[in-house]
Amino acid sequence: MIFFPHIQPHPSLRPYVRHYLLLHIPLDDISFEQRIKPIPPDADQSLFFYPRSVAKTVVNRNGETRTNPSSIFVGQQTSRINILLGEDHLIIQVCFRPGFLYQLLGGMPATEFQGKEVDAEYLMDAGIAELNNQLREETDHRRMISHIEAYLLKKMDSLARRTLPLQPIDKVILAIKDTNGPLSLDWLADQACLSSRQLERKFQERLGMSPKFYARIARFDRAFKLKLQQPQLDWLDVAYACGYFDYSHLMRDFRQFAEVSPTMLMTQDTASPDRGQSLA
């Protein structure tokens, strides 16, 4: 298994790209039923590449299965999916700053692709198809990241002639993602230089949900990833560290977003073929 979890982007991309993740794991000796990776909602928006085997998305609640193209945009998830990994599983994630897809896709509202995967070749310029071909032919993992960076740098250069600097609303989104404590709607609106109603509308555009609901997903995401990083912590410590009132409060979010208990999600994640490696 080859796993690069947090590759830092080029300095020019750091206002927009949080990091890259690359995971390559051969699974030809693993049965079809064992190639399942649980993916609960997280607080990021991403572009994923699958240069080798085809991966499939399975909706956890109803078993609906969708075949993923070579590159996909994933907006803000609100419910759990599972990824059915291919025989030669290679995934590269470009993890964007939350809310950035709105700018990258020319003001396309997040509600247009919430809860589904969208073929990147459908939304981007012809260069993304060329990039997919480059990645299929490339054998060096670091050069794969270099190809992606070259495409993004060119894309950002063209976008920079428009309106890319961080807006107050973008800073508010980051504050919600990175803050454990509660933030009032009035304070958030004031920081965004907007009325409460305008703030709600901007969040719907960029994330497809209200600030309050995004704050719940961000808190859940922090709790799940903290437990992955520090499995020795008990769940009550995780709950308090991430801003939950108590374990029952945390349990409610896990039931909604992971659709299982916290312990069961950890069991399912560590039993996945990638040995519990987080996708972000």
Residue 242 placed within a domain: no
Residue 133 placed within a domain: yes
Q: Which residue has tokens 């808190």? A: 219
Residue 243 placed within a domain: no
- What single letter denotes the amino acid at residue 123? L
pTM as predicted? 0.93
Q: What is the mean pLDDT of the chain?
A: 91
- What single letter denotes the amino acid at residue 37? K
- What single letter denotes the amino acid at residue 41? P
Give the model confidence (pLDDT) of 192-217 as tens digits: 999 999 999 999 999 999 999 999 99
How many domains is the chain built from? Answer: 1
Please tell me the distance from the alpha carbon of residue 148 to that of residue 155, in angstroms, as a whole number: 11
Q: Which residue has tokens 């995004």? A: 214
Helix (H), strand (E) at residue 122:
helix 120-123
Q: What is the CATH number of the domain that holds 69?
A: 2.60.120.10
Please tell me the distance from the alpha carbon of residue 93 to that of residue 278, in angstroms, as a whole number: 11
Residue 114: closest CA among 141, 75, 80, 149 = 75
Please tell me the distance from the alpha carbon of residue 23 to that of residue 279, in angstroms, as a whole number: 9
Residue 231 placed within a domain: no
Give the model confidence (pLDDT) of 73-90 as tens digits: 988 889 999 999 999 999
What is the layout of strands, in order, in the sheet containing 36-39?
Answer: 36-39, 81-84, 56-59, 65-67
Q: What is the DSSP letter of 60?
A: T
Residue 131 placed within a domain: yes
Q: How confident is the model at residue 33 (pLDDT cuts 50, 70, 90)?
A: confident
Q: What is the distance, to the nearest Å, from the Cα of residue 143 to the centroid of all Cα atoms in its chain?
A: 22
Residue 219 placed within a domain: no
Range of weakest confidence among 46-60, 102-116, 184-198, 207-221: 102-116
What domain range is 69 assigned to?
A: 2-159
Residue 202 placed within a domain: no
Residue 248 placed within a domain: no
